[in-house]
Structure 1
Amino acid sequence: MVPEKLTDLLHTNYRSDLNMFVGRWGYQPATELLPRAYELLKDNALANGCRFWLQDIRRRTFNDPVITNWLLTEYFPQMSAQLGGRLRVAYLTGPDLLAAIRSMPNFLPPSAYDDKPYVVAFFSTESDAMQWLQQEQIRELVVSKN
């Protein structure tokens, strides 16, 4: 069973009407709690087989560089392999966190992920994030037909 604190941190649901997996983070957790939260995210994503993720982190205030490195070098590539295709992750952030992320020296725009089994993008509005995910779904359909 998942500890209550973890379920308070992260609420997930699969939107079958949009083929999107949504994770809404309830607060800024202690760094040591993040791997367990991402394990919960993984289990729920695998149960639905969805590779189009909207992660609402507007209530988070800090982007830990160690966790970010782990996500980019281990977690996202492993998720792509386990889900059987390219993972697309749209992060919905608050304005301060978005500015901090974009000003980091290792920040990459989505186009820089072309050679990766995943792509990550950051947005300040949910509609922009969802529109990007829908465009990625269309792009995947076009590529698979060629």
Structure 2
Amino acid sequence: MSDFGLEITPRPDLPAIIARWQREISEPELQRGYLAILAAGDALGCWRWLLDLRRREELASPALTLWLDTSFFPQLVGRYVAPVRMAFLISPLRATQQQASVGLAGAVSAPSAAYGPEQSYQSGLFTDEAAAYHWLAQ
């Protein structure tokens, strides 16, 4: 499935959904993309998602962060048999910029251990796709 500059690929062998943004997109397209990922998760009963953000310039604007926190993430509460696991795949350059902006040390290759309201999701930032798959499979 490809729309909103996004390609969504089910990977039943992992099991996971792989969502790759193929181009720079607008914020409304990004929101529709997240909703398409949610719809794919529902259709497949899959709560493990790899979100490939390597082609995106900006990871999350303040407006997008607000939308995620107030509209998208609350929809995940109790939706699946386990909390949604979102592995965000970012470029090494973006990881370096992210670390500098929040004062982190070391490489981004482990989950960020971010948990949403009522533990409805877990997220991790990764620069290595194999490490992201390994974390999703746990």
Q: Provide TM-score, normalisation by structure 1.
A: 0.75
Distance 1:126 1:26 in 2: 16
For residue 79 of structure 2, the aligned residue among 55, 79, 82 is 82
8 Å CA contact 1:62, 1:97 repeated in 2: no
Cα distance in 2 between the residues matched to 1:112 and 1:54: 15
CA contact (8 A) 2:21 2:53 kept: yes
Amino acid at match of 2:28: E
Q: Aligned letter for 2:49?
A: W
Q: Does structure 1 residue 20 correspond to structure 2 residue 48?
A: no
> Which residue number in structure 2 is paired with residue 130 of structure 1?
133
**Letter of the aligned partner of 2:129 in structure 1?**
E
- Supply the RMSD in Å over aligned alpha carbons: 2.5
Indicate the structure with greater helix content.
1
Tell me the distance in 2 between the aligned counterparts of 1:38 and 1:60: 14
| TM-score, length-scaled by structure 2 | 0.78
Partner amino acid, structure 2, of 1:43:
A
CA distance in 2, matches of 1:72, 1:130: 25
Matched, 1:48 2:48: no
The residue number in structure 1 matching 2:94 is 97
1:112 to partner: Cα distance? 4.5
- Deviation for aligned residue 1:69: 3.1
Runs of 4 or more off by more than 6 Å in structure 1?
Answer: none
Cα deviation, residue 27, structure 1: 1.4
**Which runs of 5 or more residues in structure 2 are unaligned?**
105-110
Q: Deviations over 1:110-146 (max 9, x none)?
A: 33528622111100010111111122xxxxxxxxxxx
Residues paired across the two proteins, number: 129
Partner residue in 2 for 1:113 = 115
Identity across the alignment (%): 31
Q: Cα–Cα, structure 1 residues 120 and 73, in superposed 2: closer, same or farther, change >3 Å? A: farther
After superposition, the Cα gap between the structure-2 partners of 1:67 and 1:103, relative to the gap in structure 1 and judged at 3 Å, is farther
